[in-house]
Structure 1
Amino acid sequence: MTSSRAQPGSGRPLRQVLAENIVSLRRERRWSQETLAFEAGLHRTFVAHVERQARNIALDNLERIAIALGVHAHELLKERDRAPPSERSEDFR
């Protein structure tokens, strides 16, 4: 279930911001969900659920994903510039 509560000033729920950032950073590295999950010590289906906004994420797992992606955990929660659809790459699942 996706939360309908939006982050102040953005109109987008924080869960959506997190999911988009994880997907974007994972794709920049040309990693599959399985690769990210392996690097973070998590199960691939958990990563898929977080990316689909189907699961809440504990701070410990947020930190594991951030470390695997080489960013600070708070960066996963900040809005990033989104590329136009023509510049987005396909999913590497």
Structure 2
Amino acid sequence: MTSRSTDTARLVSIDLARTLAIAMMFTAHVAPSDGPARILLATEFLTAPLFALLVGAAAQLAHDRAPDPGMCWSPPCGRCVSSLSGCCSPSAAPRW
């Protein structure tokens, strides 16, 4: 159920899980009773683990999209370059 066409595309399954978590949180806080057969009581206990799962998924997605550890952002030259090229070294920085 995930659709991903480019690197910046959204994961539909993550968005659906977020929507479910928000709906469950709203139900847990607004429901006047436990509902028939105490079915709404489940929202009290399933919402926090779902949010925890989403936090882990978000952390993994952020980790996967992080730049390569061999890369650095070098303000003196203003571009992301390999640390082997010398632009990231302190000696390559202009003296102001």
Q: TM-score per shorter chain, which class?
A: under 0.3
Structure scoring higher RCO (CA < 8 A, sep ≥ 6) equals: 1
Q: TM-score, normalization: structure 1?
A: 0.26
Q: TM-score, normalization: structure 2?
A: 0.26
For the pair shown, the structure with the greater C-alpha radius of gyration is 2
More strand by share: 2
